[in-house]
Structure 1
Amino acid sequence: MPKKAAGLTAAKVSKAAAGRYVDGNGLRLLVRETGVRFWIFRYTLAGRTREMGLGRAGSEPGAVPLSEARQTAGELHRLVRSGVDPLARRVDERAAAKALAQQTAIRGVTFEQAAERFMLANRAGWKNAKHSAQWTSTLKTYAYPHLGDLPVADVLTEHVLAVLTPIWTSKAETATRVRGRIETVLDFAKTTGLRAGDNPARWRGHLSNALPARADVAPVEHHAALPWNEIGGFMVDLAQQPGVGALALRFAILTAARSSEVLGARWSEIDVDAALWTVPATRMKAKKEHRVPLAPAALALLADAARLRLTDGPNAFVFPGAVPGKGMSNMAMTMVLRRMKRGDATTHGFRSSFRDWCSEATSYPGDIAEAALAHVVENKVEAAYRRGDLFAKRRDLMTTWADFCGQPQARPAVKLVTRTG
């Protein structure tokens, strides 16, 4: 039989001086010098004596009265006699309660809310507002109707397929982007503790078993590219076109640069004396600074562009738009091609023309051509050993390319341009 409580009364609990007072069944009253009173349960288990706090003692609101403290001590005393450690059990109960609260909170986060958190966390690193708008638009149009209100922790393969199946063959490119964005949101949710397990939107080894490959339902469409042996004649026609857009397109062709890199070029990036254009990492697709050697023809073109400067200062655009302080639109160079009625060419396609010329009309190694195009080395081992950017060899290559672009006659046959440096 448990020992009957004795020695304490409600009056003594409220009036006892500083010290420790025994009641029974391990219950003790602790009174500090400040007058603050606490209940303590003292017990011994496996040869180890421990004390467990039971709350503030007294009869005021929020305090534990003597009767309740005795009842709790009696229950804990029985636990100890059965071999259970009350303190260890309290730790386990609190951990379980915390886990349950976390799980409840997690299950309250929907896929749409997780997507919004991801976009908020990553928006600053995206190139422009258009990219952010595309994310929001595609998810809102295709993913949210099926997944938006679903707890992100509960998204399964069947839910992802419900989004993708209706558009997989009819809108292959869009469907591919939607799948990738769903996968990214779910990866983010797992990283932030909102879900667990494999990603049901992953392609390789998963959805690839349920959906046909994109190439089978919608062959990749390449940018229209002018044959390399027609570049010279095209450049003659292009030189007759007025406006900054035509200058920018000529510069893009001579440097084999992307349109976004050309349209965003500022005079602070140009070193005429060194015949060098340095594109900062923030404007490069691979987020890595790219040095572009400028051939004499490209420098002459920049001299023409300098005469069109609307504003001074190093931060001025090399190819300014109609609005002071603004660059040209993304469609500026495309509109030049339309005016020329050249439906057989695209701005990006001239990069392909350059690459074909490198392969078919010269003996420059492929890695130099790829470096000129600022392509990322896919082979991780090769990338680890390639420390430089082959700049000296690329200067020779770009000068040869500019010279070729200045020859209006078409070349009916392949002629190798041999370079050993």
Structure 2
Amino acid sequence: MPKRAKELSAIEVRRLGRGVHNVGGVAGLLMQVSENGAQSWLLRVRVGHKRREIGLGPFPEVTLAKARERATETKTDIRKGIDPVESRKAARSALIASQRQGLTFIEAFEKYAAKKLPELRTERYREQWRATVEKYAFPELGGMLVQEIGREDILRILHPIWETRTETATKVRQRIEKTLDYAKAAGHRTGDNPAAWRGNLELALSAPNKIAPKQNYPALQLDDATRWWFDLKAQKGMGAAALAFQALTASRTGAVRFAKWDEIDLDARLWTIQPGRIASKIPPTGKPHRVPLTEAMIELLDTLPRLGDLLFTAPRGGSLSDATLGKSMRAIHEADIERGGIGYLDAKTKERAVPHGLRSCFRVWVTERTNFDGDMAEIALAHMVGSKVRQAYDRSDMIEKRRSMMDAWAGFLVGNDQKIGGVVRFL
């Protein structure tokens, strides 16, 4: 029979020196004294086939009597088949999980936004991305715990704006869904995402493309293109020059507004827009977009003053605003009306044509008036062509063939099938 340890009193326990000491009363109950004199309780016991040393707390916060009580309770649990160490780990994990789930929607959104916003290309888009959630989601969901947000909460936000502001409502839904996905991945919520569309909200809301079909930009009509071009030549200023360059290149307005001289290679006759460049619409992981420079484009560039890094600069420096090109487009339209014309209107909607609609005019010209390959036109417009597999293996951008196409397009604008001819001065 093993020798039983002497039962020490509280005073004797307090006087123990450095080391590990039996205190008696419960087999395996020990007092551990560190080098700096700190005292704590241990219970040395066998749990199944494992030898455990289980901490019972510091002394004197846990008194001698309390330590013996805890030791007795722990050994009783062990006899019932409970491993105190594993039980404590499980309780700690449950506590951490509970604390994680105690995250509000605003807190979850801020954490997700910190990761998402750097991916967005412009400050303006970053502001819009955040503003939609702050305006529509925060008032309803902001203070709610992410774990408690349900389908009805999402519908309460979307119903009032789904049919009147469908595009905005769709973006709000998507951003709520991503925020809750982030919260779930980080351990802050469990279960299905109440903002998911498929098999969920699609059963309660009309399909966005059915109630708000995407509208095309009002485009310049083919039969008006030559007249429009000569009206454009009558305009002066940097905005008119930028609009002419956009027309000749069939580029997006943002690509032209933020075009830089270091993107222009006059020797190779190329304009190269790098991935991730502001307003390029090319993701950082995408491929550079090359634009072949025709004689007409180069002649226009030769008329521009070098006022900084940008091809087209505002009067006070910096980039032109989107409104500047729109103003030039509107001035051309109004000038035609003053002469007794009807202006420059979209064929279907009868709305005034806008700068972006020049791209549509170019695409219709390729289809209806030329034999140029449609894929080549799509590449010129910086659109993705074909399946992802084809995109991965087809590395050609048909640059020289596109140069011929853009030459022909310039010729069409002046009513000449061969070339544009002559320098156009806007400044």
Residue by residue over 1:23-73, the C-alpha shift from the partner in whole angstroms, topping out at 9 and shown as x without a partner, is 13221234456654442211123343322222344x4xx4x3322221211
Aligned residue runs from structure 1 range 139-154, under 5 A: 139-154=133-148
Secondary structure in 2 aligned to 1:180? helix
| Change beyond 3 A, Cα 1:31–1:136 | closer
**What is the CA–CA distance in structure 2 between the aligned matches of 1:362 and 1:392, rounded to whole Å?**
17
Pairwise CA distance, 1:277: 0.9
Residue by residue over 1:67-123, the C-alpha shift from the partner in whole angstroms, topping out at 9 and shown as x without a partner, is 2221211222222333322222222222223323333x33xx1x3333333334333
Secondary structure in 2 aligned to 1:175? helix
Contact 1:231 1:408 (8 Å CA) reproduced: no
Aligned residue runs from structure 1 range 110-149, under 5 A: 111-149=105-143
- 1:362 corresponds to which residue? 370
Aligned residue runs from structure 1 range 385-400, under 5 A: 385-400=393-408
Pairwise CA distance, 1:253: 0.9
The amino acid of 2:88's aligned partner reads R
Q: 1:332 aligns with which of 317, 321, 324?
A: 324
Residue by residue over 1:113-137, the C-alpha shift from the partner in whole angstroms, topping out at 9 and shown as x without a partner, is 3333333433333333322332343
Pairwise CA distance, 1:399: 2.3
Residue by residue over 1:339-395, the C-alpha shift from the partner in whole angstroms, topping out at 9 and shown as x without a partner, is 112441211111111111222222222222111111134622222223333323322
Residue by residue over 1:195-236, the C-alpha shift from the partner in whole angstroms, topping out at 9 and shown as x without a partner, is 333333333443222222234323332111123343233212
**What is the CA–CA distance in structure 2 between the aligned matches of 1:343 and 1:408, rounded to whole Å?**
21
**What is the CA–CA distance in structure 1 between the aligned matches of 2:358 and 2:35, rounded to whole Å?**
87
| Change beyond 3 A, Cα 1:183–1:7 | closer
- 2:182 corresponds to which residue? 188
**What is the CA–CA distance in structure 2 between the aligned matches of 1:222 and 1:215, rounded to whole Å?**
13
Contact 1:251 1:298 (8 Å CA) reproduced: yes
**What is the CA–CA distance in structure 1 between the aligned matches of 2:189 and 2:266, rounded to whole Å?**
54
- Farther off after superposition, 273-282 or 205-214: 205-214
Aligned residue runs from structure 1 range 172-321, under 5 A: 172-281=166-275, 282-283=277-278, 284-287=280-283, 288=286, 289-306=288-305, 309=306, 311=307, 313=308, 315=309, 317-321=310-314
Contact 2:41 2:67 (8 Å CA) reproduced: yes
Identity of aligned residues (%): 39
Is 1:406 the equivalent of 2:404? no
- 1:79 corresponds to which residue? 77
**What is the CA–CA distance in structure 2 between the aligned matches of 1:114 and 1:339, rounded to whole Å?**
48
Pairwise CA distance, 1:4: 8.6
- 2:54 corresponds to which residue? 52
Residue by residue over 1:127-149, the C-alpha shift from the partner in whole angstroms, topping out at 9 and shown as x without a partner, is 33322332343334333333333
Pairwise CA distance, 1:161: 1.8
| Change beyond 3 A, Cα 1:139–1:5 | same
Aligned residue runs from structure 1 range 80-99, under 5 A: 80-99=78-97
**What is the CA–CA distance in structure 2 between the aligned matches of 1:82 and 1:356, rounded to whole Å?**
82
**What is the CA–CA distance in structure 2 between the aligned matches of 1:148 and 1:349, rounded to whole Å?**
40
TM-score w.r.t. the length of structure 1 is 0.84
- 2:10 corresponds to which residue? 10
**What is the CA–CA distance in structure 1 between the aligned matches of 2:206 and 2:64, rounded to whole Å?**
73
Q: 1:346 aligns with which of 346, 351, 354?
A: 354
The amino acid of 2:225's aligned partner reads I
| Change beyond 3 A, Cα 1:343–1:207 | farther
- 1:418 corresponds to which residue? none
Secondary structure in 1 aligned to 2:322? coil
- 1:413 corresponds to which residue? none
Secondary structure in 2 aligned to 1:167? coil
TM-score w.r.t. the length of structure 2 is 0.83
Secondary structure in 1 aligned to 2:159? helix
Q: 1:100 aligns with which of 98, 101, 109?
A: 98
The amino acid of 1:66's aligned partner reads L
Contact 2:97 2:188 (8 Å CA) reproduced: no
**What is the CA–CA distance in structure 2 between the aligned matches of 1:392 and 1:266, rounded to whole Å?**
22
The amino acid of 1:265's aligned partner reads A
Give the gaps of 5 or more residues in structure 2: 334-342, 346-352, 418-427
**What is the CA–CA distance in structure 2 between the aligned matches of 1:350 and 1:262, rounded to whole Å?**
13
Contact 2:249 2:406 (8 Å CA) reproduced: yes
**What is the CA–CA distance in structure 2 between the aligned matches of 1:194 and 1:88, rounded to whole Å?**
23
**What is the CA–CA distance in structure 1 between the aligned matches of 2:121 and 2:180, rounded to whole Å?**
22
Pairwise CA distance, 1:19: 4.5
The amino acid of 1:125's aligned partner reads E
Contact 1:334 1:346 (8 Å CA) reproduced: yes
**What is the CA–CA distance in structure 1 between the aligned matches of 2:39 and 2:141, rounded to whole Å?**
55
- 2:380 corresponds to which residue? 372
The amino acid of 2:390's aligned partner reads E
Pairwise CA distance, 1:272: 1.5
Contact 1:233 1:408 (8 Å CA) reproduced: no
| Change beyond 3 A, Cα 1:205–1:74 | closer
